[in-house]
Amino acid sequence: MSRQSNRTTDSKKMNSELFTLTYGALVTQLCKDYENDEEVNKQLDKMGYNIGVRLIEDFLARSTIGRCQDFRETADVIAKVAFKMYLGITPSVTNWSPAGDEFSLILENNPLADFVELPDNHNTLIYSNLLSGVLRGALEMVQMAVDVKFVQDTLRGDNVTEIRMKFIKRIEENLPAGEE
Amino acid sequence: MTVHNFYMFDRNGNCLFYNEWNRKKQAGISKEEEFKLMYGMLFSIRSFVSKMAPLDMKDGFLSFQTSKYRLHYYETPSGLKLVLNTDLSVSNARETLQHIYSNLYVELIVKNPSCSSTQTLDSELFSSRLDSFIRSLPFYSPRAA
């Protein structure tokens, strides 16, 4: 398996500030549209999911990475290839559960939250929850049901930003029901 | 040297796209039935190949040939399946299929938010680009066939 992202199409590099600020505008608008943070978190996750199911195709086409053999390999690819490609950062992979079905991504600096200070009345808002949805949606497309959630967030006063990933099950491919 | 036809299936077995260029013999059944038959065979070959393989495989099923044509198969980790039938002189169409996936499908369908890739693709742009790409292939020359 090649770890190199030999890109077939030139990725159009763009200023990440534009992305960060656009995301900020999106979250701000959602906070206005919905009464409570829970609902905003849910919407962000849903949007992320819809992005993830498409993004995975772009990722596979660009990285020429094959199917992962186990969850550890998946973790590596997410942290070292995917996060690098789309956000320009490489989170560290830690806190493996003994069974090897759970791990954490530690984000030293979260590009989505570059210029953000959460006001006190939004202490349950998971600002970067879009990422959870993206990860869940993308992995679902490669037959992995995964639970993704932010367990720590620097925006809420934690020391690091930590995304916890839990492998639930392999989604089996079925032959569509035929008439015969 | 020629290209006969091309199928694209999603992970659920829906035929997303079909086109033919130089197909002299039709199946004699409806296209829907043909797609189902094709998908069923691919599905069976995949599981056959993976059960019969004496070693762990990386890519799995790649192609088969008969006395008259060769079927090239490419599957992405996301379960998209691309099938290209050519004559026997084309030994390997893997790069061609990869190109269709990454430069045509991903660029024109996945990145187009108004195209949902759950049923038949109806993108004018995709079909015309695919058509001209196939026609520009070095091994596309129906006259020599």
Residue B133 pLDDT class (50, 70, 90 cuts):
very high
**A1 within domain boundaries:** no
Categorize the per-residue pLDDT at A178 as very low, low, confident or very high, splitting at 50, 70 and 90. Answer: low
pLDDT digits 0-9 by tens, A152-168:
998 888 889 999 999 99
Cβ distance A142 to B13 less than 8 Å, yes or no, reads no
pLDDT at res. B107 = 92
The ipTM value here is: 0.85
How far is residue B32 from each of residues A82, A173, B14, B21, measured CA to CA in Å?
Answer: 38, 21, 10, 19
A23 belongs to a structural domain: yes
For residue A115, the model assigns a pLDDT of: 80
Number of domains in chain A: 1
Phi, psi of B85 (to 5 degrees): -100, 130
User: What is the separation of C-alpha A86 from the centre of its chain, rounded to a whole number of angstroms?
Assistant: 10
A113-127 pLDDT, tens digit per residue, is 888 787 778 888 999
DSSP per residue, A97-115: -TTSSEEEEEESS-GGGTT
Is B144 domain-assigned? no
| Shortest CA gap B67–chain A (Å) | 29
Whether B16 and B38 have beta carbons less than 8 Å apart is answered as no
Evaluate if residue B98 carries a pLDDT over 90. yes
Residue at A7 is within a domain: no
> How many beta-carbon contacts under 8 Å exist across A and B?
51
pLDDT, position A179: 45
Average pLDDT in the B22-35 region? 92
Across A57-77, b (16+ Cβ under 10 Å) vs e yields bbbbbbbebebbeebeebbeb
Helix (H) / strand (E) containing A122:
none
Distance CA(B86)–CA(B90), nearest Å, equals 7
Q: Is residue B34 part of a domain?
A: yes
Q: Is the residue at B55 inside a domain?
A: yes
Asked whether residue A176 carries a pLDDT value surpassing 80, the answer given is no
Chain A nearest CA to B39, separation (Å): 9
What is the 8-class DSSP label of residue A172? P
Looking from the CA of A95 toward its CB, the CA atoms found within 13 Å total: 13
Question: Residue range B39-68: average pLDDT?
Answer: 92
Nearest CA in chain A to B32: A178
What pLDDT is stored for residue B116 in this prediction?
75
Q: Indicate whether B103 belongs to any domain.
A: yes
Q: Are A154 and A113 in contact (CB under 8 A)?
A: yes
Is the CB of residue B139 less than 8 Å from the CB of residue A99?
no
- pLDDT band (50, 70, 90) for residue B75: very high
Among A57, A60, A176, select the one facing B13 at the smallest CB separation.
A176
Q: In chain A, which residue's Cα lies nearest the Cα of B78?
A: A142
Cβ proximity of A116 and A24 under 8 Å: yes
Q: Structural domain of residue A22, as residue ranges?
A: 16-170
B84 occurs within a structural domain: yes
Instruction: Indicate whether B145 belongs to any domain.
Output: no
Q: How far apart are CA B87 and CA B98, in angstroms?
A: 19
Q: Is the pLDDT of residue B119 over 80?
A: no
**The two three-digit tokens of residue A146, written as one number:** 């995964």
Residue-range definition of the domain harbouring residue B16: 3-136
Contact B79 A56 (CB under 8 A): no
Q: What is the pLDDT of residues A49-103, one digit of tens each?
A: 999 999 999 999 998 888 888 999 999 999 999 999 999 999 999 999 999 999 9
Q: How many CB atoms lie within 10 A of CB B99?
A: 16
Q: From the CB of residue A46, how many other CB atoms can be counted at a distance below 10 Å?
A: 14
> How many domains does chain B divide into?
1
> Cβ of A4: how many Cβ atoms within 10 Å?
9
Does residue A9 surpass a pLDDT of 80? no
Global pTM value: 0.86
Compute the distance between CA of residue A80 and CA of residue A21 in angstroms, rounded to an integer: 24
Predicted local confidence at residue A21, as pLDDT:
92
Q: How confident is the model at residue A12 (pLDDT cuts 50, 70, 90)?
A: low
Whichever domain contains A160, its CATH number is 3.30.1380.20
* CATH number, domain containing residue B30: 3.30.450.70
Q: Examine residue B21 and state whether it is found in any structural domain, yes or no.
A: yes
Please name which of B8, B41, B40 lies closest in space to residue B118, comparing C-alpha atoms.
Answer: B8
* CB atoms closer than 10 angstroms to residue B66: 8
